[in-house]
Amino acid sequence: MFRNREEAAEQIAARLEHHRGSNPLVLAIPRGGVPMGQVIADRLEGELDIVLVHKIGAPGNPEFAIGSVDETGHVELNPGVERYGISPDYIDSEAERQLENIRKRRQRYRRPPTRAEGRVAILVDDGIATGATLFAAIRSLRAQNPSRLVVGVGVAPPDTVERIRREVDELVCLEAPAEFMAVGQFFQDFRQVEDEEVIAALGGESS
C-alpha cells in the first residue's frame, strides 16, 4: 500500500529516470493523476499537461463503463461490449454528451492541449481498473506520433497490465495484485483531487 499518490509518483519517476533530460511531456489523467504527474514532471525535468478522456456509461448504469471518448471525438469501446446489445444511437449520443463535458473541462482548466508529436509522452494515472479511460488516452496520443509512448501507473489488475503492455513502448506499473477491487484500496490517503489543484498544477490561477 502506498502512503499517497506522491509516494507512488516518486517510485515511478525513479524507474523512468532514463528519460530525464529529454524534456518529456508528462500527461496526467485528471483528476487523480495530476498530483502524480506534477511530481514525475518535476523529477524528470519535463513538461506537465493533462489528457482529457471521459468514460461512456452503460444505459441505466452510468458508473459502468462500456468505453470512452477523447478530445477529438474518437470513441473506444471496451472488448465484448457488443454482447450487451447497446444501440449505436445510444453510444453516439452519449459520446457526444461526454465530449461536451470534455470541452467544458478543458475550458475550465484554462490550458490548450500540448502536442506530443516527436516527444517522449508519459501518460500517468494513480491506478487503472477496467482501463477504458487509459486506452482511449493511449489511442489519442498514438495519433499525435510521439517518439515514445510510456505509461506510468501505481496499480492495476494483472490482465489490464498485459493489455496495456501490448499498446505502449514502455510500462511502469508498481503493483499488479491478483486481488483487485478498487484503486483506492492501495492508497492510505486517497483524497479527492479538486479542479483548483489541477489548475494550479498547470500553472493557472485557481479561484
The DSSP letter of residue 202 is T
Angstrom CA distances, 156 to 1, 70, 84, 160, stand at 13, 21, 25, 6
Per-residue tens of pLDDT for the chain, all 207 residues: 899 999 999 999 999 999 999 999 999 999 999 999 999 999 999 999 999 998 899 999 988 888 889 888 988 888 788 888 999 999 999 999 999 999 999 998 888 889 999 999 999 999 998 787 898 899 889 989 999 999 999 999 999 999 999 999 999 999 999 999 999 999 999 999 999 999 999 985 543
Both 124 and 25 in a single domain?
Answer: yes
Full residue range of the structural domain in which residue 78 is found: 54-109
* 146 is a domain residue: yes
Both 88 and 174 in a single domain?
Answer: no
Both 76 and 158 in a single domain?
Answer: no
pTM: 0.87
Both 133 and 180 in a single domain?
Answer: yes
Task: Write down the pLDDT at residue 50.
Answer: 95
